Amino acid sequence: MMRVTKIIADLRVPDLAAARDFYTGYLELSDEEFNLGWVARDTSAETGSCVQLVTQDAAAPVNPVVSVLVDDVEATYAGACERGYEIVHPLSTEEWGPTRFFVRAPDGNVSTSSATLTESSPPGGRRSARVSVHRSPIDAGSTEEGIT
């Protein structure tokens, strides 16, 4: 059984640097947890609130609208397969570290689950995982691709 540990908003933006002024300046999410050039996460040092900004995923076909951290990505993947959900991006270990997959929900949203070793994980220990839900432009007539 999967356990959700955190939920993070994923916002599609055309330009990370331009968008960050609003989120880091105005909203005071001033701690940059990471920046890969196509995805960056900014957090409030005071509250822990955060947002993840995404331009275009480096390996997956869709963009997320929310990331949900879970305790076991392999179990999450198995659960999606057992329920017959469409796997959009296979369970893969990406070159920048996380193990993840993408799945389409019956309502058209696409989610990604990813796991990375955390600094608090013991050697050979359990990985935390991130699940990101993506909104597909079903009725909008858009061909916009999503990312995570």
Of 117, 128, 113, 125, which is closest to residue 71 (Cα–Cα)? 128
pLDDT surpasses 70 at 19:
yes
pLDDT at 128: 42
pLDDT surpasses 50 at 101:
yes
- pLDDT, the chain, mean: 76
Task: Name the band, by pLDDT with cuts 50, 70 and 90, for residue 115.
Answer: low
112 and 131 in contact (C-beta within 8 Å)?
yes
Query: In the chain, where does DSSP find H-type helix?
Result: 16-20, 73-82
- DSSP 8-state secondary structure symbol assigned to residue 22: I
pLDDT surpasses 70 at 133:
no
Of 69, 37, 30, 29, which is closest to residue 54 (Cα–Cα)? 37
